Amino acid sequence: MSSKSPDVEALIAQKYRHGFVTDIESDSFPPGLDESVVAAISRKKNEPQFLLDWRLKAFRHWLTMREPVWAHVRFDPIDYQDISYYSAPRAKADAPKSIDEVDPKLLATYEKLGIPLHERARLAGVAVDAVFDSVSVATTFKDKLAKAGVIFCSFSDAVRDHPELIEQYLGSVVPPGDNFYAALNSAVFSDGSFVYVPRGVRCPMELSTYFRINAAKTGQFERTLIVAAEGASVSYLEGCTAPMRDENQLHAAVVELVALDDARIKYSTVQNWYPGDENGVGGIYNFVTKRGECRGRNSKISWTQVETGSAITWKYPSCVLRGEGSVGEFYSVAVTSHRQQADTGTKMIHIGRNTKSTIVAKGISAGRATSAYRGLVKVLPSAEGARNFTQCDSLLMGPHCEAHTFPYMEVRNPSATVEHEASTSKIGEDQLFYCLQRGISAEDAVNMIVSGFCKAVFKELPMEFAVEAQNLLSVSLEGAVG
Amino acid sequence: MLSIVDLQARIAGKTILNGIDLEVRPGEVHAIMGPNGSGKSTLAQVLAGREEYEVTAGRVDFDGRDLLAMPAEERARAGLFLGFQYPVEIPGVNNVYLLKAALNAKRRAAGQPEVDAYEFLALVREKMRIMQMNESFLSRGVNEGFSGGEKKRNEILQMLVLEPKLAILDETDSGLDIDALKVVAQGVNTLRHPERAVVLVTHYQRLLDYVVPDHVHVLARGRIIKSGDRSLALELERRGYDWLLESKVA
C-alpha cells in the first residue's frame, strides 16, 4: 500500500570507476621468485652492491618467515611463485627526460584517473610522482622543488642520485625482517617515491604519489621513504587504483617516515584499489607496512587515511615516538562494503618523555563486509608523562556486516595517561527517516550521515584532497534506491 | 487539504489505527488528544510515510494527491511536515546544511532554483530570532548534544524555514518548561496562514492556551471517539479521558 522503502543495502552497492586497463606493451618478468629474480630486479635498476646485498638478506630472512594469521581476515593461501615481480611499460630507448617524452597512453591513463601530469593542469599546487606497475613513469615539479632544496623523485632515481641518503635511512624504521610482507617487499621492491626535505625547509607544495596497478598477474611492491630534517615540514599524499580483474593481486608496500628535531610530516592516503565484485571475486590484497619514527625532539608525524578499496586491507600506520615531546597522530576512515575485509589500525610506541598520541578511527561496514580496528598503545618505562587519546567509532549499514575493535594497551610508566573511547552505531532507520521527512533523498541522506560520521578525519586531509575523499566516499556508497 | 477516510494501520501484526476519519481544511488548526497508546503518534508517522507501519485500509487525500502512494520524501516536498516527538541526532552533519538540503529538495521539486547561500542564512537567522535560538546553533551538528527543549525548538525552526502547507506536530510541547512552550507556540502561530494548516498531537491542553485550535479530537483505541471545539480540550483537562472511554463502552 505504501511506497517501497529505500533500502540501505541497495544504497551501498558499489561501483568502481577506475577499473579500466591501459593497453600498453610491457616488459614483465615471468612469474616466480628466487634469488635470481631478486638479483634481476636489482640489475634492472643498476643498483649499488649494498642494496643488492640488503635485498638478498631480506629475501633469505623472508624464506624463514610465515604469513601472519592474527588479523581478522580470511583468504586462500597466496602462491608466491605465481606472481610476476616486475612489470614496466616498455620504454622507447631511455627513460623519459620530461613529461613530454612520457608515453601518451600513460599520460592519458593518469588523465582519466583525474591526475593530470602536466604541471599547468588542475592539480597545479601539487607535485606528483606517478608509479605505474613496478616503475615510476613521471615526477612533476622536480625543478621547482629542487630550488627549495627538496628532493622528490622516484626511489630508483634516489638510489642512483642519492645513494648515501638511501643507505642511511632505508630500513631504519621498518627493518627488512620486520614482518612477512615487509621482508618480501624489502627483497623485491621495484620503485616508489623518495622525499628529503632539508633542515629548516617548509616544502613549498603538496607532494603526492599516485600508484596504479595495470598489468595482470603482477604484484606491486613499492617503497616510500620520507625524511624531514631538523625543523623541516612536508605534507604528502598517496592515491591508489587498479583495474577490475577476477584474480586477486598483491600489493605489499613499505612506507618509512623519519622526522628529526622539530620536523613535521603529514602523510595522507586515499586508497581505492579495486575491491573485488559484490561476490568477493577479485580485488587487491593490500598488505602494507607503514611506520614513522619521530626521531627528534618535538617532532610530529600525522597519518590520515581514507581506505575505501581493496578486497583485503591489512595495515597499521604507526608512530615510534622516540624524541622527547614528539607527537603521533592517526586519523582513519575505513569503508568496507560487499565482501571486503579490513583489519586496520595503528601502533603508537611511546619511548620519549612527554610524548603524545591521538588516534581517531572510523570504520564503516556495509553489505557482508567486515571491518576491524586493531590498535596498540605502548608506553615504555622511559616515556614519563606520555599521553594518548583513542577514539574508535564503527558505523554499520544493514544487518549483515560486522565491526570489531581490538584495542591493546601496554603501559609501563605510571605517569602516563591513556584514554580510550569506542562506539558502534547503526545508520539508524530513524536518522534516515528524519532526512526523508525533510524531503532529502535516501541517497543524499546516507551520504550526509556517513560524511558527518567521518568529519573528524576528513578535516585532517589537505584541502585539495578533502573534496576528493568526500566524492570517493559517495561513489563507494552509491547505488540505486531500491 | 487533508482528507482521511477510514484509515487503518498496524505494526508487527498489531492493529493501531482502527478507522480514522478526519478532514483538515486550509487555515485550520486541529488538536488531536488522547490517552497514552491511543494511536496519536502512529497517525502522525503513518501520514509522514514511515515504512514500519503497514496501512491495511483507507485512503488519504493531500491537496488532491493520493498521499499513501507517495514515498516519504515526496510527501515532504509536497508540503507535509512532521515535527518529531523525539528528533534524532545526526552527529557531524551541520544543522544549517541539513536545513538547506531540505529547502533545496523542496524547491527543486517545485521547479524553483536552489536558494542562494547568503539569502538562506539571512532567512535562517530571521527564523532563529522568532525561536530565540542562540547563534551557536548555526555551527552545531543536527540536534547533537541538544537539550530536549532545544530539539523541539529546532523542529519548529525547520518548520518555519520550510513553510509547509500542513504541519503535524507530534507532542512538540512535551518536556518543555513554560517559557520554552511560549516560544514554540509563538513559532507555530507565526506559521498560521489561511492557506496552511496545523495538526497538533498533544497530551495536554496547556499548549492550546497559546495555540488556539479550531477543532479538538479525542483519539482512543485507534479511533476518533469525540470531536469538538476548544471547549472540549478544557473539559478534558478538567475531567480526564475516563468519562469518554466509559461512555463509549456503555
Q: How confident is the model at residue A460 (pLDDT cuts 50, 70, 90)?
A: confident
Chain A residues within 8 Å of chain B (Cβ atoms): 1-6, 428-431, 433-442, 444, 448-449, 451-456
Angle at CA of residue B81, ends A432 and B236, nearest 5°:
115
Percent of chain A having pLDDT more than 90? Answer: 41
**Taking 60 as the threshold, does the pLDDT of residue A7 lie above it?**
no
pLDDT average, residue stretch A82-90: 81
Query: Checking DSSP bridges between strand A356-366 and strand A327-336, what pairing results, if any?
Result: parallel
Q: Any idea what the CATH number is for the domain that residue B34 is in?
A: 3.40.50.300
Separation of alpha carbons A385 and A1, rounded Å: 64
Cell numbers describing residue A297 = 625532539
Per-residue pLDDT band for A471 (boundaries 50, 70, 90) equals: low
pLDDT at A1: 33
| Under 8 Å between Cβ of A38 and A55 | yes
* pLDDT tens column, A366-398: 888 888 899 999 999 999 999 999 999 888 887
Average pLDDT over residues A93-112: 67
Cα–Cα distance for residue pair B204/B211, rounded to 1 Å = 12
Complex confidence, ipTM? 0.95
3-state DSSP helix/strand/coil % of chain B, to nearest 5 = 40, 30, 30
Q: Report d(CA B213, CA B31) in Å as an integer.
A: 6
pLDDT value for A482:
24
Return the residue of B nearest to A4 by Cα.
Answer: B71
Beta-carbon contacts of residue A146 (< 8 Å; ≥ 6 apart): none
Residues of A in contact with B50 (CB under 8 A): 433
Three-state DSSP class for A331?
strand
A245 phi/psi in degrees, rounded to 5: -135, 160
Given CB atoms, is B158 within the 8 Å cutoff of chain A? yes
Cβ–Cβ gap A434/B84 under 8 Å? yes
Q: How confident is residue A480, by pLDDT bands cut at 50, 70 and 90? A: very low
pLDDT at A271: 79
CB burial of residue A478 (10 Å; 0-12, 13-18, 19+): middle
Confidence of residue A85 (pLDDT cuts 50, 70, 90): confident
Find the largest Cα–Cα distance for chain A. Answer: 76
Please list, residue by residue across A173-194, b when 16 or more beta carbons sit within 10 angstroms of its beta carbon and e when fewer do. bbebbbbbbbbbbbbbbbbbbb
Dihedral, CA atoms, B185, B190, B196, B197, nearest 10 degrees? 10
| Verdict on whether the full-model pTM lies above 0.90 | no
User: Looking at the complex, does the CB of residue B92 fall below 8 Å from at least one CB of chain A?
Assistant: yes
Query: Chain A to chain B, count of Cβ pairs less than 8 Å apart?
Result: 95
Altogether, the residues listed in chain B come to a count of: 250
* A413, A379 Cβ separation under 8 angstroms: yes
Q: What is the pLDDT of residues A331-374, one digit of tens each?
A: 998 888 788 888 899 999 999 999 999 999 988 888 888 888 99
Closest to A14 (Cα-Cα) out of A274, A250, A248, A213: A274
Please judge whether B71 and A452 are an interchain contact, meaning their C-beta atoms are less than 8 angstroms apart: no
Q: Report chain A residues whose CB lies below 8 A from the CB of B71.
A: 2-4, 6, 436
How far, CA to CA in Å, does B233 sit from each of A422, B33, B179, B228? 48, 8, 21, 8
Domains: count for chain B: 1
pLDDT confidence bin for A467, thresholds 50/70/90: low
Interface of B with A in 68-87 (CB under 8 A): 68-73, 75-77, 81-82, 84, 87
Residue B53 sits at φ, ψ, to 5 deg, of -90, 135
Once rounded to an integer, what is the mean pLDDT over residues B160-178?
A: 94
Chain B residues close to A451, C-beta within 8 Å = 92-93
Based on its alpha-carbon atoms, the radius of gyration of chain B, rounded to whole angstroms, reads: 18
How close does chain B come to A357, measured CA to CA in Å? 23
**Distance from the A453 Cα atom to the nearest Cα atom in chain B, whole angstroms:** 6
Q: Say whether pLDDT at B95 is over 70.
A: yes
| Per-residue model confidence as pLDDT tens digits over B99-138 | 999 999 999 999 999 999 899 999 999 999 999 998 888 8
CB-CB under 8 Å, B71 with A436: yes
Q: Three cell numbers at B196?
A: 496552511
Confidence of residue A119 (pLDDT cuts 50, 70, 90): low
Q: Are A361 and A329 in contact (CB under 8 A)?
A: no
pLDDT at A242: 64
Q: What share of chain A is helix, strand, coil (3-state, %, to 5)?
A: 25, 35, 40
Nearest CA of chain A to the CA of B5: how many Å?
A: 15
List, for residues B218-242, the tens digit of each pLDDT value: 999 999 999 999 999 999 988 888 8
Q: Which residues contact A377 (CB under 8 A, 6 or more apart)?
A: A347, A348, A350, A357, A359, A388, A390, A407, A408, A409, A410, A411, A418
- Type and span of the H or E element at A88: strand A87-89
Residue located via cell numbers 624531514: A228
Q: Answer whether residue B247 shows pLDDT above 70.
A: no
Residues of chain B positioned with their CB less than 8 A from the CB of A433: 50-51, 72
Q: Which residues of A touch B53 (CB under 8 A)?
A: 2
Closest CA to A159 of A132, A184, A135: A135
Quick check: A423 and A393 in contact, CB under 8 A?
yes
Q: What is the DSSP letter of A164?
A: H
Sheet holding B29-33, edge to edge: B80-83, B166-170, B197-201, B29-33, B215-220, B223-228
The residue of chain A with its CA nearest to that of B78 is A439
pLDDT band at A191 (very low <50, low <70, confident <90, very high): confident
At B64 the pLDDT is: 94
Q: Which residues from chain B sit within 8 angstroms of residue A394, using beta carbons?
A: none
The helix or strand, by DSSP H or E, that contains position A212, with its residue range, turns out to be strand A206-212
Contact between A385 and A415 under an 8 Å Cβ cutoff? The reply is: yes
Chain B residues 125-144 within an 8 A CB cutoff of chain A: 141-142
Strands A151-154 and A191-197: antiparallel
Chain A residues in contact with B105 by the CB 8 A cut-off are 438-441, 444
What the block records as the C-alpha cell of A148 is 627549495
Domain that holds residue B59: 2-249
- Number of Cβ within a 10 Å radius of residue A28: 18
DSSP letters, A114-158, are T---STTSS-TTEEEEEEETTEEEEE-SHHHHHHTT-EEEEHHHH
Distance CA A364, CA A335 (A): 5
* Rounded CA separation A271/A274 (Å): 9
Q: Which of A133-147, A254-268, A290-304, A468-482 has the lowest mean pLDDT?
A: A468-482
Quote the pLDDT of residue A74.
86
Using an 8 Å Cβ cutoff, are B161 and B192 in contact?
Answer: no
* E strand or H helix at B118: helix B117-130
Rounded to 5 degrees, φ, ψ at A34 are -155, -170
**pLDDT recorded at residue A275:** 76
Q: What is the CA radius of gyration of chain A?
A: 22
Is A114's pLDDT higher than 80?
A: no
Chain B environment of A431 (Cβ under 8 Å): 88, 90
Contact B81 A5 (CB under 8 A): no
Checking if the pLDDT of B178 tops 70, the result is yes
Average pLDDT, chain A: 83
For the ranges A4-18, A454-468, B39-53, B154-168, the lowest mean pLDDT is seen at: A4-18
Residues of A in contact with B52 (CB under 8 A): 429
SS3 A333: strand
Residue A55 has pLDDT above 90, yes or no: yes
- Give the mean pLDDT of A429-449: 90
| pLDDT on residue A465 | 67
Contact between A438 and B54 using a beta-carbon 8 Å cutoff: no
Check whether A417 has a pLDDT greater than 90.
Answer: yes
